[in-house]
Chains A and B, each alone.
Chain A
């Protein structure tokens, strides 16, 4: 895990990149009990006229969460996370999670941090807007 960034408004979190191979998608499908054929079945994809296996959208929430927790360390606890899908991502593509500290608010026991996030595939927006609210415990 990364260790760690200065938590000030405007601070950029280290970009989290993942090339999502079909094997990663199979692993995620198994881990989440989601065996929808859209994520792996060539015959099904051909019938639906989809060019390649489609990455499960909810995995992007997992990546956004891991980016934040990796940057803020084990004292961080995500309270809220929201994200909207903009375009499909296909097997073999490389995603990049970009995040910036947008708000900080001291509170009893720590600091509440707002993080504005998005996911790009090259110049294409895959997920945006996205937002995390994180409690950093003292």
Chain B
């Protein structure tokens, strides 16, 4: 019998949320991200180098499209966060990040207007070696541009881990 995955939570599987950017990604956003991660790849900042490598313009670092919240239009919450959340409440747990799986389908350009299609894809429960129940919530995010071309897919795992006493 599940301790955390209630029928009410299970009913949320299949929920979707869509966010469309109000403007193109922009060259400045790309340069800002590249600077922030210490990347010196000329493809991100030098149009001549990018064109020589076969691209139409400078390109974004591959993970940028999956990491930015630039396209989201939610208000900042009490934690200061504006990115997408499913706003799931699981009493008696702490939320930890599990990991990410990215697929990159084509380069992202400064002119791309990004839409993020979120899907609450899966929920499952297991028990840790210490006997704590863990609720796995897997979201699948598809990022498209203004031409409905698929740019990237991000499968993201978050884990609600039951708080158990050591004693």
Total interface residues in chain B, CB < 8 Å? 41
- A83 nearest in chain B by CB position: B99
B43 touching A74, Cβ below 8 Å: yes
Q: Mark B64-80, 1 if CB is under 8 A from A, else 0.
A: 10111110100010011
Are B61 and A74 in contact, with the CB atoms below 8 A? no
CA distance A44 to B32 in the complex (A): 26
The distance in angstroms between the C-alpha atoms of A80 and B40, with both chains bound, is 21
**Residue of B40, B41, B82, B102 with highest tally of chain A CB at under 10 A:** B102
A32 contacts B69, CB within 8 Å?
yes
A66 contacts across to B, CB distance below 8 A:
37-39, 41, 61
A84 at interface, CB cutoff 8 A: yes
The smallest C-beta distance from A94 to any residue of chain B, in angstroms, reads 13
Chain A residues with CB below 8 A from B36, complex form: 24, 27-28, 30-32
Given the known inter-chain contacts A30-B32, A80-B103, please indicate yes or no for A74 contacting B53, CB distance below 8 A: yes
Across the interface, do A35 and B62 meet the contact criterion of CB distance under 8 Å? no
Q: What number of A residues sit within 8 Å (CB to CB) of B? A: 38
Q: How far is the CA of A7 from the CA of B79 in the complex (A)?
A: 44
A1 within 8 A of B: yes
A18 CB–B CB distance under 8 Å: yes
In this assembly, does B86 line the interface, its C-beta being within 8 Å of a C-beta of chain A?
A: no
Q: Does B14 contact A (CB under 8 A)?
A: no
Residues on A lying within 8 angstroms of B by beta carbon are 1, 18, 24, 27-28, 30-38, 41, 44, 57-59, 61-63, 65-66, 69-70, 74-75, 77-85, 137
Provide 19 A-B residue pairs closer than 8 Å at the C-beta atoms, listed in order of the A residue: A31-B35, A31-B36, A34-B83, A44-B79, A61-B100, A62-B37, A62-B61, A66-B41, A74-B53, A77-B104, A78-B62, A79-B103, A80-B101, A81-B102, A82-B100, A82-B102, A84-B99, A85-B97, A137-B54
